[in-house]
A = this chain, B = another copy of it.
Amino acid sequence: MSTTADDGAPLGLMPGQEVPFDDRGLAYGDGVFETVLVRNGFPVLWDYHLARLARGAEVLGFPAPRQADLERPLAKAPKGLAVLKLMVTRGSGGRGYLAPDPPKPRLRWQLLPFAPTPNRWWEGVRVRHCRLRLGIQPVLAGIKHLNRLENVLARREWQDPDTAEGLLCDSEGRLVEATGMNLFWQRGGRLETPRLDHCGVAGTLREALKGRVALHEVAVGPEVLNDAEALWLGNSVQGLWPVTRLDDPDGRAQHRWSLGPPHRWLQAEAQALLGYPVPEVRDH
């Protein structure tokens, strides 16, 4: 990939995107981010990303950047697929945890060429339950803030490259999400996804799907997956992965699904939202 920014630096290594030591995003994770699929310069599900970023800034209590400023990096987007990562911190200042008043938020961004990896995961993935439980924090639930150590630690629970994702429950045992994706399943013909009022990130693909299909938000433990006809993981960058095998935290198979028409319909909806193809269903 020889695409470069205006100044000749490779995409993703834009000068001027560092932050100073006293940036509160660095010091405390005091900020929010968005990871946006960009196709031929067009940001996919952009309204959903803007809405979540605005809500995150509101929860944290600083003004979100103007839309025009958030869109400026798109002028540098390459042809084809790219991922734009936007980060907005509360900026510098304040005394310790006490936030500066007024805050001067800082916008930083990175644009990287992208290919969904690996594509074969659209045809079915193996996932596992994580041991780590997410802490309950209703104030921060849903927004994509910069305090993501739980996700980092959960992702460290496996190295096997054939395990695509790990499922997370909260400290009271309710299913929440995967380390970087939302969960969806069909049970008794009904499409369900975890409620995200205690913790977790409300993904933009999940939000967009809510507008297209009947998606029931439920507070349930992981045992309901034993009764699921289909289980999927998805986000707005990678698309929707049907799950064919669910392991326990030691990597031992707990449940398997054969791909079939029940898996395909939701994937068709999600992939259409992102402009991705729907793989052929190969009946097993």
Contact A27/B135 with A21-B108, A97-B179, A99-B156 known, Cβ cut-off 8 Å: no
In the bound complex, do residue A137 and residue B135 qualify as a contact, i.e. CB atoms below 8 Å apart?
yes
CB distance from A82 to the nearest CB of B (A): 15
Of residues 135 through 166 on chain A, the ones whose CB sits less than 8 Å from some CB of chain B are: 135-137, 139-140, 145-156
With A136-B136, A149-B29 already in contact, the answer to whether A21 and B180 are too (CB < 8 A) is no
Copy count, this protein chain: 2
Q: Please give, as numbers and ranges, the residues of chain B lying within 8 Å of A30 by CB-CB distance.
A: 148-149, 152
Q: Which of A12-20, A41-49, A217-225, A246-254 contacts B (4 or more CB under 8 A)?
A: A12-20
Chain A 71-91 interface 0/1 with B at a Cβ cutoff of 8 Å (1 = within): 000000000000000010000
Residue A22 at the chain B interface, CB threshold 8 Å = yes
Kindly identify, within residues 240 to 264 of chain A, every residue whose CB is under 8 Å from any CB belonging to chain B. none
- Given the interface contacts A26-B23, A171-B136, does A60 sit within 8 Å of B18 by beta carbon? no
Interface status of A33 (Cβ within 8 A of chain B):
yes
Contact between chains at B146 and A87 (CB < 8 Å): no
> Which residues from B are CB-within-8-Å of A140?
149-150, 153
- On whether the beta carbons of A87 and B21 are closer than 8 Å, the reply is yes
**Bound: A109/B98 CA distance, A:** 20
Cβ-neighbour of A149 out of B108, B136, B145, B153 (below 8 A): B145
